[in-house]
Amino acid sequence: MTYLAALPVGLREQAWMAGTALALLLLLRRLPEKGGWRVLFLCATGFLLLRYLFWRTFFTLGFDDPFSFAASLTLYGAELYGIAMFLLSALVNVRPITHRRPGLETVEWPPVDVLIPTYDEPLEVVKTTLVAAVSMDYPPHLLNVYLLDDGATEARLSDPDPWRAGRARKRRQQMSRLCGRLGVRYLSRKDNEHAKAGNLNAALPRISGELIVVLDCDHVPTMDFLRETVPPLVENPRLFLVQTPHFFVTPDPIEKNLGLFNRMPSENDMFYGAVQPGLDFWQASFFCGSAAVLRRRALLENGGFSGLSVTEDAETALSLHARGWKSRYLLKPLISGLQPETFSGFISQRSRWAQGMVQLFLRKNPLRQQGLDDGQKLAYLNCMLFWFFPFARVVFLLAPLCFLLFGLKIYDAGIEEIAAYTFPYLAALILTANYLFGRVRWFLISEIYESMQSFFSLKAVVNTLRHPDRPEFIVTPKGKRLEKDFISPLVRPFYLLLCLLGLGFFAAAWRWGLYPEQRSLILITALWNGFGFLIVIASLGALYERRQRRGHPRLPAGDLPAELIIGADPVPVSIHDISTGGAALKGAGGRPGRRGILRLRHPLLNECCRFPVEIVARHPSPEGGMTGIRFHPESLEQYRQIVLLVHGDSRRWEEILARRERDVGILPAAGFLLACGFRQAGRHVSSLFSAFLNRMKRERHEAKAVFSPPDSGIASLPLGAGEGGAGHSFGEIDDAPGFDPAEESGR
Amino acid sequence: MRPDSIRLKNLADEYRLSFPLPRRHRISQARLVLDFTHSNVLVPSRSQLRVRVNGVTVGQWRLRPEQARRRVSLDIPPELLLEGYNELQFLSALHYTETHCEAPVSPELWAEIDPLRSRLEFRYDLRDAPLSLAGLSSLFDKKLPPQTVALLLPAAEPDEEDLNLGGLAVQGIALRYDYAPFGLELGRLAAASAEGPLRFAVPAARDVVVIAERGKLGEFVSPAVAERIGGPYLGLFPAPGNPGRFVLILSGNDAAEVREAVRAFAWMNFPLPDAPETVIRSVRLRPPQPYQGFPALEPGGAYSLKELGFHTASRHGISPDPMAFELFLPPDLFAPEHAEVVFRFHLAYDAGMRRDSLLEMRINGTFERAIQLPEEGGAQYRDYRVAVPLRSFRPGINRISLQPRLVPLVTGECLYIQTDNLQVTLFDDSRVEMPQAEHYAQLPDLSLLAGSGFPYLAGGDGASLGIRLLNPRTDTVLAAWQLLAKMARLNRLPLEGARLRFTPFDDDRDLLVVGGGVTSLKDGIFHGTPLEADPWHVWRYPAGRRLDPPQAPGWRAWLGRFLAADAGNEARLRDRYVAVAQSGGLGRQALGFSFRHPERPARLVTAFVAEGDLYPAIRALTSPALWSQMKGDLIVWREGSRTLSWQRIGEPFQVGDAGVKTALLFHFSRHPWYWLLAVFAVLCLFAALTHFLLNRFKRRHHPDAEEIAP
């Protein structure tokens, strides 16, 4: 196939072949997307790609002048990277699989230790996870839950700064008290060495279960977590890992700011919904740091969790795969987690992933790992190389400017050749991305996310390349509340880029007049520049941070029937959405401020539950209106029932995923995204204008600047705003609302 | 073919030509005889034809309608004439009205000069030949009228050593005459006067080259001259009794030294040394390169015009001289049907030109593309891309010309028409990009020989060229030398490696075979060829043409249209012949015939035979007019004819370094649908194989899993 792809033929033949291949791809999209058809689809795209690669290599890299040549090689390098990534990605995703669940009757349940590492997350976040963890459906005598608190290590308790030391002491006191009441074992250690991996490793000698569940402290497990994940490990003693998807119940900042959440697949749905099943085929599904069950014996054989890199999870999996252990991916959401709220937090998280994967690439390059088979090596290589995308993205954004602004010949080809080679290649890439990931990632999402990360991740990647030992584990900030809209402080590179790309249009117009013979190329380059411009505009929209006042994510409840009892008469209602703090009810209700009882049959526990509630909002309508309530649980049991009601049912997560994971087609997806981006960019501009006015005003009245993100404050809650914990700012230690865990003990 | 008239048109026009005057000629009288015709509606008071020589007006004539055709003569003062090239300029001023405004390009404004009836006449005598080896190029001067050079050897019949030395010397002569025709005579040294440095008879009105060892030269030169031959020796002497002619002696103490002297003569192309005699110590050459006489463009290479000898040039006026450069394409270049040579022109043109201004691009005189210059405000083009199919080029030298056609923005009667701004510049950093290609050619093809000497010159030094003489007759020897001289001219450098033999070659060479008539083609070299000696000659005559292949009716024909070869440059029109065996021979004609070597399948043999004297026929054939007409594998011509006849009678064969890839390329470029079918067939096979292997992998590693479509 490579030989045929390398044969130079005329442009006419190439155009015929490309057109026929694209027609074949369009036809194959209508056939089942698996089996031989899937392979043929990828082969056809691969052939188009190889033809482009050979043409690009042997016919478009002329030497005119050193600057053009350097720019041309840089662009070529970025394209090579893209092509390599496509080929690796095609390999990884050629045959995604899911395993059949072993029969439960045969399972002899082994002892399980649940490790929940925490650093400085709010108590409220940790509490929900702990309650859900101890409530998992598993023989109680075989289940031990551990809170591994790195926020109150001995080193932090003896911090020279009295405020910090006091804060750590208070944290330890509150956490250990909470753990004591929930039956969770509280563990802390001497210092914070090796961050999360060190924290987990410190716990290993102190636990004895055959299996270990690792949960981030904001990853709330469903009740059936262990029932689903343990059987494969029991069935196959060489299995060291069962990884489940990270299902997030809050939007990431880009989704939130562009208003995309639950209207389209989340960005990480691609990884957990498509890539991990693909990796699983090659026995390369890896540990993602949480929502996974591991075998203690394997970990001990490995010397614990690996800590050479800041992504200890992938590193540990790589080591164990190299030792011959197997992994399995369970494509079923069994935890619900929180995304970082701000773009800064998001970038911090992604930069850590990028640094970790680059560290792994440098220090534990899969190609050099003994024990991995070829498929595993390539699969891991794919995951690591992906994080070099900032190079390619930056090059693709800036490359047209090299020609438009400086006249550098970055792509030595005529319009006919571009039509015969480049356009079919790009069309094939778009079709293939849509074919492989259309339901879990819409067109242009990768462009927006990766472009937005590039300028920040690039620095992190370069620094890691220069000093592979230097990156440190930075905990992703979560649980923040944003009280008002503001422009992200990370916006400046995008302003600069927008100006440059805008300048590119002027340069294109100038060249249009000066070099009439190059008009076709100028047009193409200007379109390319325009594409980058649109992406940056959409990025600006995403950088306009929208407020987020709720401390607890509100989730659809599927109109669960209930009764609201205020006074003596129960009123039938249905729960529209719910959080651990409150709910929105469809149906009649009382005046705000009145207290009552919400009675319902708990769908998981299958028992009648009564929750004390307070009406906090009322929106009447002819259909009965909506009523916002806040929960006031009076016991830990009631709180547990609420947590299970909100987070305990994995079927709800599957329903939510099924609703948002759909393929709407390439163009509608692009239109939708750009419309959202432009709308939000308009708000961004308007905010800038306001900022300008404010500045004018401040100069006169010394007013507050619009650019500083809010860090605390209590919001007024709209409908369904029974969100307990309102007023908790990031890092603040406080107890949950409604009841004092100190009042109760145990489950 | 009669040449076109020199045409002058519009209100004002001019035509320039240059004529050479050799250094050896002393001009005593020069006259221009002009035969011209002009429009019969011109106004005589304002219309005139003017002649300038080297920038000086030497004559002018008023153009009268009643005398529309005229023949005039004009003496040119000899002192105006320069040694070397002189410029003759015809300038016209043409008007059709005395008082009114005129359309500058009115069709009745014309005058024509008949180039055949018009002539330049010179009366001259020979100066004394400059006796300096530095002046060899002025002795063998291309500006001279056709000369005949006599080669004198000691023996009556040349042996093979003489044959090769003579061949090398003739190459030196031919390269100095450049493109100018010249004749050869072969003679034997014969003693004459006992006085003077040279004591042998020289033919009258001939320049003479003597090749002989010192020992064989002893009685023909004075003892002083013989004494000076202390090694490989070159000496120039005035011809005895005619100081306007010269004798060049190439000698040495033994055969090796004579050869060294002849080699030195062949290579000395710079005005050194400034002495009549020299003794050569050594001639050192670098290893030869293929086509080393040319800057041959290699497949996949990119070249600036500067590298090709073109320097940035501007052209002014409505229809100025074209800007031209040459490309030398390796003659065995093989590329797919749609391979293209890409030109990236860097141009600039002035403001104030009309949209229909343009540059006409011609390749070997054939219009290929136009580059429009549409911007009225002027523009500069960087990388103006012009892709020309490789098949538009011919093997060997190709002349690329860009002819400006520049139109003023403002034209019309009674308007000042600005023409000073009509200018365009072609920059020498423009580039030519060659497509990827292989060295692969189909033989026999006499057009390859005509264009580039292929395959005989492929080595660069003639090491693959052997010239076989079928008999030792003088006309055969001269014919062989004349052919070798032509090959050296094609190579632009001496072919030191070429060998001439009377006997069959036992080394591996492409052969030129000369001598004899068709009845004598009994040599083993002709074994198996259609012209093998036979009492009955089989000649082929055209018997119509047909389209090849014939189309079958029905769906197969429809499918066949897709799967049939893309004819490309290859004509699908096939000639048909009838073969007639008869006793009649060539008569006064000569015959050239190219065929595969019967013993060495990768080698080519080209034979030139004639019943009578072969040398005049070869001399005629090597003239540019006939040589460039060679095609096919069989030609017939006669001395004095302006055309030759050709046909293709043998089976073609391929030579070159083509591998499987080239063969596939060749096939797919002619059958693009096969390529498409192959691609999709291989895709399906590859996909099926991959699917099978993936299934096997899944069965082994994931027996409990099922595939999903995320």
How far apart are alpha carbons B253 and B250 in whole angstroms? Answer: 11
Quickly state the pLDDT bin for A711 (edges 50, 70, 90): very low
Fold of the CATH domain B445-535+583-651: Chitobiase; domain 2 (3.30.379)
Distance of residue B705 Cα from the nearest chain A Cα, in angstroms: 4
Quickly state the pLDDT bin for A710 (edges 50, 70, 90): very low
CB A697 within 8 A of CB A703: yes
Angle B316-B321-B322 (CA atoms, 0-180°, nearest 5)?
105
CA-to-CA dists, residue A1 to A210, B430, B666, B685, B686, angstroms = 49, 37, 18, 10, 8
Best of A27, A31, A39 to disrupt the B interface (most B CBs within 10 Å) is A39
Which pLDDT tens digit goes with each residue over A415-462? 888 999 999 999 999 999 999 998 898 888 888 899 989 988 888 899
Nearest CA in chain A to B691: A36
Note the pLDDT of residue B111. Answer: 95
Indicate whether A634 pLDDT > 70. yes
Task: Name the one residue in this structure whose structure tokens are 């004075």.
Answer: B222
Note the pLDDT of residue A102. Answer: 75
Provide, rounded to the nearest whole percent, the portion of chain A with pLDDT above 70: 90
Cβ–Cβ gap B708/A277 under 8 Å: yes
Within 10 angstroms of residue B577's Cβ, the number of other Cβ atoms is 14
Cβ–Cβ gap A39/B381 under 8 Å: no
How far apart are alpha carbons B407 and B451 in whole angstroms? Answer: 37
**Going by DSSP bridges, is the β-strand pair B379-389/B340-349 parallel, antiparallel, or unpaired?**
antiparallel
Cβ–Cβ gap B708/A98 under 8 Å: yes
Parts of chain B with a pLDDT under 50: 567-571
Domain B302-439: homologous superfamily in CATH: Galactose-binding domain-like (2.60.120.260)
Pinpoint the alpha helices (H) of A204-333: 225-235, 253-258, 269-270, 276-281, 296-301, 312-322
Indicate whether A719 pLDDT > 70. no
Q: What is the pLDDT averaged over residues A540-550?
A: 74
Question: What tokens appear for A744 in the block?
Answer: 């109760």
**Beta bridge pairs of residue B388:** B341
Q: What is the pLDDT averaged over residues A98-107?
A: 73
| Secondary structure, 3-state, B236-273 | EEEECCEEEEEEEEEEECCHHHHHHHHHHHHHCCCCCC
How far apart are alpha carbons A267 and A442 in whole angstroms? Answer: 9
**Going by DSSP bridges, is the β-strand pair B313-316/B366-372 parallel, antiparallel, or unpaired?**
unpaired
Judging contacts by C-beta atoms under 8 Å, the chain B residues touching residue A19 are: none
**Beta bridge pairs of residue B634:** B593, B647
How far apart are alpha carbons B62 and B56 in whole angstroms? Answer: 18
Of A574-583, A715-724, B3-12, minimum mean pLDDT range: A715-724
Cβ–Cβ gap B337/A331 under 8 Å: no
How far apart are alpha carbons A294 and A277 in whole angstroms? Answer: 18
Note the pLDDT of residue B422. Answer: 93
Indicate whether A704 pLDDT > 60. no
Question: What tokens appear for A116 in the block?
Answer: 């929940």
Distance of residue B396 Cα from the nearest chain A Cα, in angstroms: 24
How far apart are alpha carbons A451 and A458 in whole angstroms? Answer: 10
Judging contacts by C-beta atoms under 8 Å, the chain A residues touching residue B379 are: 514-517
Note the pLDDT of residue A77. Answer: 95
Which pLDDT tens digit goes with each residue over B495-553? 999 999 999 998 889 999 998 777 667 777 888 777 766 666 677 787 777 665 555 55
Quickly state the pLDDT bin for A37 (edges 50, 70, 90): very high
Which pLDDT tens digit goes with each residue over A339-391? 887 888 888 888 888 999 999 999 899 999 999 999 999 999 999 999 999 99
Cβ–Cβ gap B708/A40 under 8 Å: no
Judging contacts by C-beta atoms under 8 Å, the chain B residues touching residue A96 are: 707-710
Note the pLDDT of residue A690. Answer: 83
How far apart are alpha carbons B45 and B454 in whole angstroms? Answer: 59
Which pLDDT tens digit goes with each residue over B312-341? 999 998 878 899 999 988 888 877 766 789
Cβ–Cβ gap B688/A414 under 8 Å: no
Closest CA to B447 of B589, B292, B332, B575: B332
Q: Quote the ipTM score.
A: 0.87
What are the backbone dihedrals phi and psi of residue B407, each rounded to the nearest 5 degrees, phi first? Answer: -120, 130
Within 10 angstroms of residue A660's Cβ, the number of other Cβ atoms is 17
Best of A1, A2, A3, A9 to disrupt the B interface (most B CBs within 10 Å) is A9
User: Considering CB atoms only, which of B382, B385, B433 is closest to A515?
Assistant: B382
Cβ–Cβ gap B702/A97 under 8 Å: yes
Nearest CA in chain B to A8: B665
Closest CA to A329 of A375, A389, A269, A280: A280
Using DSSP, state whether A182 is helix, strand or coil: helix
How far apart are alpha carbons A274 and A251 in whole angstroms? Answer: 20
Closest CA to B491 of B230, B631, B337, B291: B291
Nearest CA in chain B to A11: B338
Q: What is the pLDDT averaged over residues A704-710?
A: 41
Pick the CATH number of A111-253+284-317 from 3.40.630.30, 3.40.50.300, 3.90.550.10, 1.10.10.10: 3.90.550.10
How far apart are alpha carbons A739 and A725 in whole angstroms? Answer: 11
How far apart are alpha carbons B581 and B536 in whole angstroms? Answer: 6
CB A232 within 8 A of CB A332: no
Same fold, B6-126 and B302-439: yes
- Percentages helix, strand, coil for chain B (3-state, rounded to 5) are 20, 35, 45
Q: Taking the domains of chain A in order of start, what are their residue ranges?
A: 2-92+388-479+489-542, 111-253+284-317, 549-674+698-747
Using the 8-state DSSP alphabet, how is residue A421 labeled? I
What are the backbone dihedrals phi and psi of residue A216, each rounded to the nearest 5 degrees, phi first? Answer: -65, 155
Higher-confidence residue: B271 or A535?
A535
Note the pLDDT of residue B660. Answer: 75
How far apart are alpha carbons A402 and A67 in whole angstroms? Answer: 10
How far apart are alpha carbons A122 and A130 in whole angstroms? Answer: 13
Using the 8-state DSSP alphabet, how is residue A710 labeled? P
Distance of residue A414 Cα from the nearest chain B Cα, in angstroms: 8
Distance of residue A190 Cα from the nearest chain B Cα, in angstroms: 43
Question: What tokens appear for A434 in the block?
Answer: 């849509």
**Beta bridge pairs of residue B246:** B238
Note the pLDDT of residue B255. Answer: 92
Indicate whether A703 pLDDT > 60. no
CA-to-CA dists, residue B166 to A347, B159, B161, B198, B268, angstroms = 86, 10, 8, 20, 16
Average pLDDT, chain A: 85
Judging contacts by C-beta atoms under 8 Å, the chain B residues touching residue A329 are: none
Task: Name the one residue in this structure whose structure tokens are 């008023």.
Answer: B62
How far apart are alpha carbons A523 and A511 in whole angstroms? Answer: 10
Distance of residue B288 Cα from the nearest chain A Cα, in angstroms: 29
Nearest CA in chain B to A7: B665
Note the pLDDT of residue A472. Answer: 63
Nearest CA in chain A to B389: A10
Indicate whether A728 pLDDT > 60. no
Closest CA to B419 of B409, B429, B427: B409
Higher-confidence residue: B563 or A157?
A157
Note the pLDDT of residue B335. Answer: 76
How far apart are alpha carbons A499 and A449 in whole angstroms? Answer: 20
**Beta bridge pairs of residue B606:** B512, B594
Using DSSP, state whether B386 is helix, strand or coil: strand
Alpha-carbon torsion (B686, B688, B693, B694), positive or negative: positive
Which pLDDT tens digit goes with each residue over B203-230? 988 999 999 999 998 889 999 999 999 9
Distance of residue A98 Cα from the nearest chain B Cα, in angstroms: 5
Angle A372-A375-A380 (CA atoms, 0-180°, nearest 5)?
70
User: Considering CB atoms only, which of A3, A9, A94 is closest to B669?
Assistant: A9
User: Considering CB atoms only, which of B336, B339, B686 is closest to A43?
Assistant: B686
Active-site residue set of A: 150, 313
Q: Taking the domains of chain B in order of start, what are their residue ranges?
A: 6-126, 133-279, 302-439, 445-535+583-651, 671-701
Fold of the CATH domain B133-279: Chitobiase; domain 2 (3.30.379)
Quickly state the pLDDT bin for A508 (edges 50, 70, 90): very high
Task: Name the one residue in this structure whose structure tokens are 């400006």.
Answer: B404
Cβ–Cβ gap B691/A96 under 8 Å: no
Judging contacts by C-beta atoms under 8 Å, the chain A residues touching residue B661 are: 3, 7
How far apart are alpha carbons B307 and B295 in whole angstroms? Answer: 8
Nearest CA in chain B to A36: B691
Higher-confidence residue: A548 or B181?
B181
Q: What is the pLDDT averaged over residues A547-565?
A: 78
Domain A549-674+698-747: homologous superfamily in CATH: predicted glycosyltransferase like domains (2.40.10.220)
Question: Does B6-126 carry CATH code 3.40.50.300?
Answer: no
Using DSSP, state whether B652 is helix, strand or coil: coil
Length of chain A (residues): 747
Which pLDDT tens digit goes with each residue over A43-88? 999 999 999 999 999 888 877 788 888 999 999 999 999 999 999 9
